Amino acid sequence: AQTVTQSQPEMSVQEAETVTLSCTYDTSESDYYLFWYKQPPSRQMILVIRQEAYKQQNATENRFSVNFQKAAKSFSLKISDSQLGDAAMYFCAYRSLNNNDMRFGAGTRLTVKP
Amino acid sequence: ETGVTQTPRHLVMGMTNKKSLKCEQHLGHNAMYWYKQSAKKPLELMFVYNFKEQTENNSVPSRFSPECPNSSHLFLHLHTLQPEDSALYLCASSQALGASYEQYFGPGTRLTVT
């Protein structure tokens, strides 16, 4: 079964600086989707960015970008120009194309310091 | 109301009680999901419904009983729960099944079993 590992339980960043959150996964599949979700305190989880494994180009969404290294099974999230509103739990997730299961990592709590 | 709503937001129940969690989506989606978010474990997928039909049951104990009367509503009936069932229960929906469809999450129900 696929597993997702987020090795950083907590991270902090200074406002306006850049931070990178790490995620690694284990799979024997060649095609799949990877996601980063954001869960602000007491608020709903929202999708930040997604990456299709067959696409070599790294996904970007405004200040958010990923570094997808398929061979290394690594999927890190870079947040540029960090804002106070970026403070949240961030979850990395893996979705197989062969079933409906989505596997999540344990999460990284990001603190943004003013 | 827009998006995915869940009621109640907080629930405290004894081990012999019977209660139900409700989820409603106002997005016109056809797939709905129940997740369990425990403090010490990654987010776990519990059930998946597509067009009111259950397509996934991830070995969930029978004390959790889902019901999907239509594509907009999803219930989770609870009975004779254990203290370890205390968690945040998240509902999500997507336009269709498949890894490319974004899942939209509700705010969750915080369940405490005493």
Q: Residue A56: pLDDT above 80?
A: yes
pLDDT band at B1, cuts 50/70/90?
low
Interface test with chain A among B36, B43, B49, by most A beta carbons within 10 Å: B43
B76-102 pLDDT, tens digit per residue, is 999 999 999 999 999 999 999 988 899
Q: Are the C-beta atoms of residues A9 and A91 closer than 8 Å to each other?
A: no
The pLDDT of residue B98 is: 87
B3 touches chain A (CB under 8 A): yes
pLDDT band at B74, cuts 50/70/90?
very high
How many C-beta atoms lie closer than 10 Å to residue B45's C-beta?
21
Q: Are the C-beta atoms of residues B97 and B33 closer than 8 Å to each other?
A: no
- CA nearest to B108 within chain A: A44
Whether residue A45 and residue B105 make contact (CB cut-off 8 A), yes or no, is: yes
A82-102 pLDDT, tens digit per residue, is 999 999 999 999 999 888 889
- CA nearest to B43 within chain A: A104
Q: CA A27, A77, A89: angle at the middle one, nearest 5?
A: 95
The pLDDT of residue B88 is: 96
Question: What is the C-alpha to C-alpha distance for residues B78 and A67, in angstroms, rounded to an integer?
Answer: 41
Whether residue B106 and residue A44 make contact (CB cut-off 8 A), yes or no, is: yes
